[in-house]
């Protein structure tokens, strides 16, 4: 990995892998012969990249999503720069957000997509939350594995996103219809839903001042944040 020290060392997945001897640091300007997962890539990682990864490995850029403009990507050299397709982060910092994968998730994703499950699992098992990555993303990864080239993975991603948007619109429409139906029922015996009581014994209504992110369920049964968006932390 190219590490730009943007992250808290105690929370940085890349630094933890380094301490465990599972990843090597690269100096800026060093040329890497394997696949480099970077937000500046053009083609997504695809199963056809397997031979490159088997022979030369995978590298990531360890930096903050909020400080991408500080990274000298022009000095990060590889003939095989790749993007990751649509996947959901499960790390504690960006849980539920599409594309916001940290270093270990990015590495594992690349290994999984090309069919190298063992190294992906070796990396993820070093984190208490690591098993969740496959649990949340297995349906997506399996669909990417049916592809061969980067262009096919890109087309599959576009199809998946279109399905998710359609499902989201359907859920919003159904929720609105249910709300409208409730308003049409006079004197309905509605039960107040609560999360429990606070220290003063008063109830807290579900959704009261809960923030702006809305949770939805995608086509694979995963709960994601509707306002999430897709560099590694």
Domain ranges of the chain: 2-156
Of 67-71, 76-80, 82-86, minimum mean pLDDT range:
67-71
In 8-162, beta strands by DSSP E: 35-37, 43-44, 58-62, 81-83
Q: In what order do the strands lie in the sheet with 81-83?
A: 2-3, 58-62, 35-37, 81-83, 43-44
Nearest Cα to 164, choosing from 94, 99, 219?
A: 219
pLDDT in tens, 211-224: 444 554 554 455 55
Report the residue count for the chain.
Answer: 233
Binding site residue list for S-adenosyl-L-methionine: 13, 61, 84, 99
The Cβ of residue 148 has, within 10 Å, a number of other Cβ atoms equal to 11
Task: Look up the pTM and report it.
Answer: 0.71
Give the phi and the psi of residue 174 in degrees, each rounded to 5: -65, -40
Find, among 98, 91, 126, 133, the residue nearest to 112 by Cα. 133
pLDDT of residue 170: 86
187: tokens are 């004197």
Residue 232: its pLDDT value, please? 46
The predicted model gives 197-225 an average pLDDT of 42
Secondary structure class of 45 (helix, strand, coil)? coil
For 227, the 3-state DSSP assignment is coil
Other residues' Cβ atoms within 10 Å of the Cβ of residue 2: 23
Enumerate the known binding-site residues.
13, 61, 84, 99
Q: Is the pLDDT of residue 50 over 90?
A: yes
Distance between CA atoms of residues 109 and 120, nearest Å: 7
Nearest CA to 108 among 81, 90, 92? 90
């Amino acid at each position: 990995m190219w590490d730009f020290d943007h992250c808290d060392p105690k929370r940085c997945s890349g630094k933890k892998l380094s301490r465990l001897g599972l990843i090597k640091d690269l100096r800026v300007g060093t040329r890497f012969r394997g696949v480099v997962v970077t937000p500046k890539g053009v083609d997504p990682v695809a199963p056809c990249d397997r031979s490159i990864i088997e022979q030369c490995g995978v590298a990531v850029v360890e930096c903050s999503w909020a400080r991408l403009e500080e990274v000298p990507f022009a000095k990060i050299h590889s003939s095989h720069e790749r993007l990751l397709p649509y996947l959901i982060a499960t790390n504690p910092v960006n849980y539920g957000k599409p594309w916001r994968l940290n270093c270990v998730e990015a590495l594992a994703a690349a290994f999984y997509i090309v069919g190298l499950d063992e190294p992906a699992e070796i990396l993820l098992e070093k984190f208490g939350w690591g098993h969740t990555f496959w649990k949340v993303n297995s349906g997506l990864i399996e669909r990417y594995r049916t592809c061969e080239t980067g262009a096919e993975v890109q087309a599959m991603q576009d199809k998946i996103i279109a399905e998710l948007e359609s499902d989201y619109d359907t859920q919003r429409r159904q929720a609105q219809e249910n709300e409208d139906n409730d308003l049409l029922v006079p004197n309905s015996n509605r039960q107040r839903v609560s999360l429990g009581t606070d220290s003063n014994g008063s109830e807290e209504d579900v959704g009261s001042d809960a923030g702006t992110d809305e949770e939805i369920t995608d086509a694979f049964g995963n709960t994601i944040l509707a306002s999430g968006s897709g560099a590694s932390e």
